[in-house]
Amino acid sequence: MTYEFLQHYWCFVVSLLGALLVFLLFVQGANSVARTLGWTEEGRRLVYNSTGRKWELTFTTLVTFGGAFFASFPLFYSTSFGGAYWLWMIILFTFVLQAVSYEFQNKIGNILGPKTFQFFLTLNGIVGPLLLGGAVATFFEGSNFIVEKSNMVADGAITPVISYWANASHGLDALLNPWVLVLGFAVVFLARTLGILYVMNNVDDEDIRSRGSVRIIGAAVPFVILFVAYVVHLLLKDGYAYNPETGVIFMEPYKYLHNMLEMWYLTILLLIGVVLVLFGIGKTIVSKDYNSGIWPAGIGTVLTVLALLLCSAWNNTAYYPSTADLQSSLTLQNSCSSEFTLRTMFYVSLLVPFVVAYIAYAWHALDRKKLTREELNGDEHAY
């Protein structure tokens, strides 16, 4: 295993975690439409209890995504989290609100009332995907930061901090870029689409299923429009490339289009992913009895996001470009951990299939019997 291989391998692992995270945002998506999808108080409880059995997986994937990014590309961790402070803080804030909302909302002694926590779930359901999607968009659109490793020791440096944001907004400036918002809202509507598909599959309730097959149109149509718009924009825009020999970063016209052509396997992955997502949505809309759309759409989401994330970093591409100073842009090469650490972590990552296997087994064991109103009323741990 060469150092270069390990860098690409860890980029793959982090991208896979990111792709799984986007899929698991169905929890947020379903929560954001719980009011209309559930319609009645009992219906809403069904939705919350359905996502309530999975929220910890989404949360854990987010935490592991952060941890894996830290271990493999610490300069990204240092630059993005320390620089885009407000963007990440708002994301974290809404996830904290979500984490307690399930357990607290319907318990006796909840002094804030159930509606407060339902509002938190809705807030996280919209803001979480929006800002996470926006953060992903910055991998292509760039961010306003500067990296200078000598700052810690250079006499007279502007700041002793190695990486810093070049403006005072600390990450919120990204939301002024319309293309960041386009991808952000695409993720919001994707999460809603997946959320509706998941609830339709997980809850055995005629009302919710029939309502879901209608509501999904309102989520899927804007998603498809925004996603297609962003992909077209991406393929036509200039990208951030680097010379692997010198490490010099430069703008390359149609860089991401070139990436997709040169890494044809990613294009195939992307196309399969898109077809699966459209199949899952389409069949759910046109078929009366089909409730398994979450599986093709979920797998398709993972493949699509994985292809896009790898397109942002592989093939000598700067995956976290700087709009303030081109040469500060982060590449796999200049931001990764040492070869020793990446190799050590490679062996740890071999545990991942085992982890996936027991998650799948536990998921299957719990979901063998779909959630019903009867079960909800008899379950002492129901939220």
Partner 1 sequence: MTNLLLNIDAGTIDWSRAQFALTAIYHWLFVPLTLGLALIMGIMETCYYRKTKAFERGETNRDVVDFWRTTTKFWQRLFGINFAMGVATGIILEFEFGTNWSNYSWFVGDIFGAPLAIEGIVAFFMESTFVAVMYFGWNKVSRGFHLASTWLTGLGATISAWWILVANAWMQYPVGCQFNPDTMRNEMVSFMEVALSPFAVSKFCHTITSAWIIGAVFCVGVSCWYLLKKRETKMAVESMKIGAMVGLIASVLAAATGHKSAQDVAEVQPMKLAAMEALYNGGTDVGLTAVAWVNPFCQPDYQNETEAPLKLDMPYALSFMATNNPHGYVPGINDILNGYTTPDGKVEPSIDEKIEMGKQAIEALAAYRQAKSEGADDATLSPLLSTLNENMKYFGYGYVKDKTQVVPYVPVNFWAFRIMVGLGCVFILYFALIIILTYKIPFVTIFTRRLLAAIGLLPETEADGYEITRLPAWHYWLAIVLIPLGYIASESGWLVAEFGRQPWTIQDMLPTWVAVSDLNAGSVALTFILFLILFTTMLAVEISIMLKQIKKGPQL
Return the residues of window 103-132 that contact partner 1 according to CB under 8 A.
103-104, 107-112
The tokens describing 127, both together, are 């803001």
Q: How far is the CB of 4 from partner 1 (least distance, A)?
A: 16
Binders of partner 1 among residues 65 to 94 (CB under 8 A) are 66-68, 70-72, 74-75, 77-83, 85-86, 88-89, 92-93
Contact status: 346 vs partner 1 (CB under 8 A): no
The tokens describing 8, both together, are 């690409």
Contact status: 372 vs partner 1 (CB under 8 A): no
Task: Figure out which of the listed residues 44, 45, 170, 192 binds partner 1, where binding follows CB under 8 A.
Answer: 170
The 134-153 contact track toward partner 1, x by CB under 8 A, reads ---------------xx-xx
From 122-130, 272-280, 303-311, 341-349, span contacting partner 1 (CB under 8 A): 341-349
Phi, psi (deg, nearest 5) at residue 117: -75, -30
If the CB atoms of residues 162 and 263 are measured against partner 1, the closer one turns out to be 162
If the CB atoms of residues 167 and 210 are measured against partner 1, the closer one turns out to be 167
Strands (E), the chain: 145-147, 163-165, 239-242, 249-252
CB 197 within 8 A of CB 280: yes
Q: How far is the CB of 237 from partner 1 (least distance, A)?
A: 28
Phi, psi (deg, nearest 5) at residue 170: 50, 55
Please calculate the CA angle 192-195-201 and round it to the nearest 5 degrees: 145
| Residue 41 exposed, middle or buried by CB count within 10 Å (0-12, 13-18, 19+) | exposed
Task: Please report, as a single letter, which amino acid is at residue 138.
Answer: T
If the CB atoms of residues 154 and 221 are measured against partner 1, the closer one turns out to be 154
Alpha helices per DSSP H over 142-247: 178-202, 206-236
Contact status: 56 vs partner 1 (CB under 8 A): yes
Contact status: 3 vs partner 1 (CB under 8 A): no
Q: How many CB atoms within 10 Å of residue 287?
A: 12
If the CB atoms of residues 243 and 287 are measured against partner 1, the closer one turns out to be 243
Number of residues that bind partner 1 (CB under 8 A): 84
From 21-29, 56-64, 198-206, 301-309, span contacting partner 1 (CB under 8 A): 56-64
CB 86 within 8 A of CB 133: no
Q: Residue 383 carries which DSSP code?
A: -
Contact status: 181 vs partner 1 (CB under 8 A): no
Task: Figure out which of the listed residues 54, 192, 215, 255 binds partner 1, where binding follows CB under 8 A.
Answer: 54
Q: Between β-strands 163-165 and 145-147, what pairing exists: parallel, antiparallel or unpaired?
A: antiparallel
